[in-house]
Amino acid sequence: MENLRPQPPHVIFLPFPAQGHVKPLLKLAELLSHASFHVTFINSEYIHHRLLPSIDIDAFHSRFPNFRFLSIPDGLPPHQPRALEDLLPSIGSATVAALRQLLVSDNLSRATTCIIADGIMPSSAVTAGEEFGIPVLAFRTFSACCTWTNFHLSKLIEEGEVPFQDKDMDKLVTCIPGLENILRRRDLPSICRVENVGDPILEFFIKEGRAMLRASALILNTFDELEAPMLSKLASFFSKIYTIGPLHALSNVRINGDRSPLASTTGILWKEDQGCITWLDSRPSESVVFVSFGSIVKFTHDQMLEFWHGLVNSGKPFLWVIRPDSIMGGDGSSGQLLMDLQERTKGKGLIVSWAPQEQVLAHRAVGGFLTHGGWNSIMESTQAGVPMICWPAISDQQVNSRFVSEVWRVGLDMKDTCERSIVEKMVRDLMEAKRVEIMKVMGVVAKQAEESVKEGGSSYRNLDTLIQDISSMTT
Ligand code: UDX
């Protein structure tokens, strides 16, 4: 007799190939798999070959039986480093070609309920989705405030704001509704710091922003209580917005709450140094500054030294993540500098190449976070109640750091400067002089974050709605 039981929904995930993108999309994929969806998670080959060895695949599949990983080319030769300026121009056409092929040859198109595509490059998924009649939801891994700002890139050009006409970086930018009194030129996404409007990366973001408007819904790793004004602005572009952040905490509540084995996806592309947790165990509460600049930012030797001296001069112990690829310069000099810093840090702090960041931020010994202001880091720090100093380098980080200091008031903004005296002062301010004031606000915001992911909280409910809405696409 024919089996008439309805098939569970099948969702294809298409993340942009970088740690800060793969991680949140994987968390959501796990959550949907946990809700009995079938999931096909498509990484670039480059990411796939780094990610899979870090996962205990048998344990993963016993936890998520209907979850499979596939890989497709990203358009670059295998051994070329994945610099953003090389990747962005190549990835769109490579992805759409590979996705079309998969949808046809793997017979995936008939079985697919929807595609959840990374909002940084939704055009490939939207193009393929429109061809095959598959709905596409865009998961933007940025904040709502930066997502809203990015939707105004063309307007910034039309109004003559970008490229900047003079060097006054403190001039307020007044043509983005809702942000008239908040963003200065220096707070715009770094892609606005261009010489001319034909800049390929700026064009990439404008084109992909337009494609995002063709998606049937927007998913954001944020929570309503934090970004309500920006979310209501975005609602004029999207009929459906699912805010499901802080996603790492929602995932911990919903997947681990049933006492199932932990999902094995925290340290995605680098091996975590668990020794730093033991080091933290022996420190007093809220005494340590955690320093981590995410997965992409790179530093000159001078910048490394300014940070190091500033941290040491502040007198606060620090735990600093320095990725092996994060110091610029070949000829072995970066390795030498790293070894020197490690040696000179003994007794003052600890340098590791990659940390279990969520665990570190949740550790009682950590009192402050010197961060680049990547959105995952801000969500993780906010949920852990750890105040921040933001030193934004690229992309959305300029907008995020402005909101951290001026709108949410849960930290300080150290934008566009890298001097030891300023690093020292900011660390002292965060850990001493301004601590009471900042912690008062942080306490409220952290509580809101915690409530949002609890059963009945805004993000918890929004995930349920997302699950129901995707399920209803199959009927
Ligand atoms: C960048 C952007 O700036 C970010 O806003 C965007 O959403 C994604 O691309 P990235 O530089 O990787 O991301 O920063 P961030 O978003 O903060 O993500 C870094 C992730 O790596 C975090 O989830 C963090 O927990 C993790 N991490 C970082 C570790 O697990 N260990 C570390 O030692 C450092």
- For residue 210, being part of any structural domain is answered with yes
State the distance from the centre of ligand 1 to the C-alpha of 387, rounded, in angstroms.
Answer: 17
CA distance 251 to 383: 13
Taking only the tens place, the pLDDT of each residue in 140-190 is 999 999 999 999 999 999 999 999 999 999 999 999 999 999 999 999 999
Tokens 């918890």 correspond to 460
pLDDT value for 475: 62
Tell me: do 212 and 126 sit in the same domain: yes
Tell me: do 228 and 246 sit in the same domain: yes
- For residue 253, being part of any structural domain is answered with yes
With the most atoms of ligand 1 within 8 angstroms of its CB, the residue from 19, 222, 279 to mutate is 19
Tell me: do 215 and 96 sit in the same domain: yes
Q: Which atom of ligand 1 is nearest to the CA of 352?
A: 33
375 lines ligand 1 (CB under 6 A): yes
* For residue 407, pLDDT beyond 90: yes
Tell me: do 441 and 339 sit in the same domain: yes
Helical residues (DSSP H) of 52-143, grouped into ranges? 57-63, 84-105, 108-111, 123-132
Q: Which atom of ligand 1 is nearest to the CA of 397?
A: 3
Closest residue (by CA) to atom 8 of ligand 1? 20
369 lines ligand 1 (CB under 6 A): no
Tell me: do 402 and 429 sit in the same domain: yes
- For residue 3, being part of any structural domain is answered with no
Tell me: do 316 and 288 sit in the same domain: yes
Indicate if 309 belongs to the active site.
Answer: no
- For residue 375, being part of any structural domain is answered with yes
- Tell me the two tokens of residue 461: 């409910």
- For residue 147, being part of any structural domain is answered with yes
Environment class of residue 258 by beta-carbon count within 10 Å: exposed (0-12), middle (13-18) or buried (19+)? exposed
Residues 6+ apart with CB under 8 A from 307: 291, 299, 320, 370, 418, 420, 423
Which entry of 74, 118, 273, 413 is annotated as an active-site residue? 118
Tell me: do 456 and 445 sit in the same domain: no
pLDDT value for 110: 83
Tell me: do 202 and 293 sit in the same domain: no
Angle at 456 between CA 451 and CA 461, to 5 degrees: 105
Closest residue (by CA) to atom 27 of ligand 1? 357
Indicate if 21 belongs to the active site.
Answer: yes
- For residue 285, being part of any structural domain is answered with yes
- Count up the domains in the chain and report the number: 2
Tell me: do 315 and 400 sit in the same domain: yes
Tell me: do 445 and 456 sit in the same domain: no
Q: ipTM of this model?
A: 0.98
CA distance 58 to 83: 32
Environment class of residue 313 by beta-carbon count within 10 Å: exposed (0-12), middle (13-18) or buried (19+)? middle
- For residue 1, being part of any structural domain is answered with no
First to last CA, the chain: 21
381 lines ligand 1 (CB under 6 A): no
CA distance 335 to 313: 24
- State which residues form the domain around 77: 10-266+452-472
Which entry of 10, 21, 38, 248 is annotated as an active-site residue? 21
- Tell me the two tokens of residue 198: 């034909």
Alpha carbon of residue 154 to chain centroid? 24
Taking only the tens place, the pLDDT of each residue in 191-233 is 999 999 899 999 999 999 999 999 999 999 999 999 999 999 9
294 lines ligand 1 (CB under 6 A): yes
* Closest residue by Cα to residue 401 from 315, 293, 308: 293
- The helix or strand, by DSSP H or E, that contains position 413, with its residue range, turns out to be strand 411-413
**Domain of residue 431, CATH code:** 3.40.50.2000
- For residue 357, being part of any structural domain is answered with yes
Residues 6+ apart with CB under 8 A from 156: 162, 173, 175, 176, 188, 192
With the most atoms of ligand 1 within 8 angstroms of its CB, the residue from 140, 377, 399 to mutate is 377
State the distance from the centre of ligand 1 to the C-alpha of 180, rounded, in angstroms.
Answer: 28
Cα separation values, 235 from 176, 229, 264, 353, 395, Å: 15, 10, 34, 40, 23
Tell me: do 92 and 152 sit in the same domain: yes
67 lines ligand 1 (CB under 6 A): no
* For residue 450, pLDDT beyond 80: yes
* For residue 3, pLDDT beyond 90: no
- Omega of the bond prior to 163 within 30 degrees of 0, cis? yes
Tell me: do 155 and 243 sit in the same domain: yes
Taking only the tens place, the pLDDT of each residue in 11-59 is 999 999 999 999 999 999 999 999 999 999 999 999 999 898 888 888 8
